[in-house]
Each structure stands twice: as structure tokens, then as C-alpha cells.
Amino acid sequence: MTDKTLPKPLQELIEAIGQLPGVGPRTAQRFAYWLYKNPPTASTSLAEALSKLHSQVTVCPVTFALIDKNQKVSHLYSDAKRDKQLVAVVAEPLDIAAIEKTGAYHGTYHVLGGLVSPIDGITPADLRIKELATRLKKDHVKELILALNASVESESTALVIMQAIDGSKVKVTRLARGLPVGVDIEYADQITLLKALEGRQNIS
């Protein structure tokens, strides 16, 4: 809703910021006012960063991770230290950053570009599953890790992937799922609790 008590440029900025996911009207107002009351260099820096977003960022043609425009492929694929026969399948590019922060994974990645979700109009054809099947053969992949969230959409996506690579000899694994440390059982959601029961371990 337009606030006529504010100058038009400030209104437009608030509306633009309000389009960001998770940003409500009041938060958008705070962000916009912060930019106004601080030195113009803050706004200029933000504007310059935004102007480069689409012109200098592209998608890796192999892994579909985000890369600089001047790169041919992701360094997480071209690096000789990376195991190309080990591929972690993720839904979105930012999932890669989360896994990389662990410092424990040295394989490569494949970004699907989402998850199967009929409600949102996302079908298997909208995802990069065919490209994944092609990579399995090209790179002689030995293990495929389904690094997807614990959700109904992820389960549907995993099923589609399994059907698409049916007949291949690649080993398919998924991230272990269960109760996070410090979370009481009574507050765990049904999917998390179900996966914790299915993945129970012997301690005797």
C-alpha cells in the first residue's frame, strides 16, 4: 500500500525492498530509511552491486552452480582435487554454500533448480534431471548423494531421479536425517521424527 505521507522516491524504494522474500512492510521501511539517513555511498554501493548481479553472474553449464561471467565452469568442478565421480544433488545454488562450509565434502555438485511441486507448477521437466543423467555417464559417476531437504517435494523429486537413472550402476545415497541436537521430541515435525525412526542406529 502506498504511503502518501512519504516522498515518492522513498515509497518506491520501500515497495522494491518489500518484494524480497521474508521482508514485511515495516522491515522494508526500516531498510529504506536507513539507506536515506546514511551517507549516499551506502546507496551507491548497493546500486552498483545490484547492477552487476545479472550482467556479471551466470550459471555453470555443467553443475548449474552460480559462477562469475568470465568463468567457463564452476571451480568446484574444474578443480583437480575434486572427485568428479562423486556428485551431490542439491535443489538450489545456495545449498552448495551450506555444504561447502562443513569442509568435509570434496566431490562435485549438480543443481536441479528446484523441487517437484505440482502446487507451484514445477514438474520434473522443469528440473535439470536429464542433464544429471547425462553427467552420470560422461563423468563415470560412482556415487550420487541426494542432498535434499526433508519434505514431501524432496521425496517426490528423489523418486523421479531414481526413475530417470534406473538401470545405471551408480550408487545412490542420501544425507542422514534425524533429530537435530538440542531439539525435544515433542517439538519435532512428523517428517523429521519419521526419518529419525527409520534411521535409528544400534548402540549395543
Q: Which CATH number does the domain housing residue 121 bear?
A: 3.40.1360.10
Task: Tell me: do 64 and 141 sit in the same domain.
Answer: yes
Query: Which domain CATH number covers 20?
Result: 1.10.8.420
In this structure, are 71 and 156 located in the same domain?
Answer: yes
What is the pLDDT, as a whole number, of residue 67? 97
Q: Mean pLDDT, to the nearest integer, of 19-25?
A: 94
> How much of the chain exceeds pLDDT 90, in percent?
74
Cα distance between residue 142 and residue 160, in whole Å: 19
In this prediction the pTM is 0.83
In a domain, 198, yes or no: no
**pLDDT value at position 203?**
62
pLDDT, tens only, 121-153: 999 999 999 999 999 999 999 999 999 887 889
| Residue 122: domain span | 58-174
Residue 111: strand pairing partners: 90
Mean per-residue pLDDT, 86-107: 93
How many distinct structural domains can be found in the chain? 2
Q: Are both 83 and 42 inside the same structural domain?
A: no
Contact between 29 and 14 under an 8 Å Cβ cutoff? The reply is yes
- Same domain? For 132 and 105 the reply is yes
Write the DSSP string, 33-89.
HHHHHS-HHHHHHHHHHHHHHTTSEEE-TTT--EEETT-SS-HHHH-TTSEEEEEEE
111 and 16 in a common domain: no
CA–CA dist 179, 200 (Å, integer) = 10
Predicted confidence band of residue 79 (pLDDT cuts 50, 70, 90): very high
pLDDT at site 200: 72
Tens digits of residue pLDDT in 146-186? 998 878 899 999 999 999 998 888 999 988 777 777 777 67
Claim to verify: residue 44 and residue 134 sit in the same structural domain = no
**pLDDT recorded at residue 201:** 67
Q: Per the domain annotation, does 188 fall within a domain? A: no
Question: Is there a domain that residue 34 lies in?
Answer: yes
Query: Running DSSP on this structure, what letter comes out for residue 174?
Result: E
111 shares its domain with 84: yes
- The answer to whether residue 84 is domain-embedded is yes
**Residues 29 and 90 grouped into a single domain:** no
Residue 74 lies in a domain: yes
Confidence of residue 3 (pLDDT cuts 50, 70, 90): low
For residue 8, is pLDDT > 90?
yes
Q: Are residues 43 and 124 in the same domain?
A: no
Indicate whether 45 and 70 sit together in one domain. no
Average pLDDT over residues 44-68: 95
